[in-house]
Amino acid sequence: MKVLMNDQITKRNDIIIDIEDRGYQFGDGVYEVIRVYNGNAFYLQEHITRLIRSASELKMTLPYNEERLLTLLNQLVAENQLIEGNIYLQVSRGVAPRSHQFPEHSEAVLIAYTYKAARPLSLLQNGVSTILTEDIRWLRCDIKSLNLLGAVLAKQEAVDAGCHEAILHRNGTVTEGSSTNVAIIKEGTLYTHPADNLILHGITRQIILECANDLCIPVREETFTVEQLFAADEVFISSTTMEIAPVTSIDQKTIGSGTPGPLTHRLQQAFEEKIK
């Protein structure tokens, strides 16, 4: 497998990560996960735009320009002959003697690699079980930063309960999943948390809003409560890797009819059209 390290595509074993890399010591960096369908990176431009925004919110600059990054990522997918899978891309602030404040001189370290992954077809068809837990993350969840402990702990809680995802709430208001956005459908209207500082502005969430618009499903980018979540007709989670996955239970309580709902299904079909 080939890996992109700064502007070189090389073998994985030839790469050296410094012990004083700030990504490694402080989680001081940003990342993206990009889906590859039929050998093409899906919504690549949108992911790179978000990466640049995340980096800029942390006062970091990428080692080279956007155009070069797009070219190198497409080249990486081609060299690895990836047909169905993901690209993982991260940029750290770079290498410097360990001290919390930004170093005076450091150059961003960018790495990207690809891995094969099939679409989660049975989960898309049958739905996923989830738990509800408190959102203990920081207040800049709009930045796709390498600091993921709040998400890691929540996901582990879900896995320990035999579930796929943890749905998070802050004081009774639902924010998102540990690695997904969350939406509910009530009486034909789709509700999803507004794209503010408390959630990641998901690319899949944005595609879903476009699909909803095409399908004339009314959308409200408004917060909803835990009570509204449990009382929803349909609930689904979305991400690059999970696409649009129906939620059939939360804390072992059945959602709607306990099977994937009709509007979720229509959104899945519209999404499917885009990946063809």
Name the site residues for ligand PDD (rule: CB under 6 A): 33, 151, 176, 179-181, 200, 202-205, 238-241
Please say which residue, 106 or 179, places its beta carbon nearer to ligand PDD. 179
Q: Which two tokens stand for residue 100?
A: 């919390």
Q: Which two tokens stand for residue 155?
A: 């996901």
Cα-Cα-Cα-Cα torsion 64, 69, 72, 77, nearest 10 degrees, comes to: 150
Closest approach of Cβ 169 to ligand PDD, in Å?
14
Residue 14 DSSP symbol: G
Please say which residue, 23 or 106, places its beta carbon nearer to ligand PDD. 23
Q: What is the CA radius of gyration of the chain?
A: 19
Closest approach of Cβ 141 to ligand PDD, in Å?
6
No. of helices (H) and no. of strands (E), the chain: 8, 15
The identity of residue 232, as a single letter, is: A
Q: Which two tokens stand for residue 36?
A: 């590859």
* Catalytic option among 11, 144, 253, 274: 144
Please say which residue, 95 or 242, places its beta carbon nearer to ligand PDD. 242
Please say which residue, 114 or 240, places its beta carbon nearer to ligand PDD. 240
Closest approach of Cβ 150 to ligand PDD, in Å?
9
Distance between CA 175 and CA 249 in Å, rounded? 17
Assign 155 to helix, strand or coil. Answer: helix
Active site residue 144: yes
Closest approach of Cβ 162 to ligand PDD, in Å?
21
Distance between CA 157 and CA 249 in Å, rounded? 15
The set of catalytic residues is 144
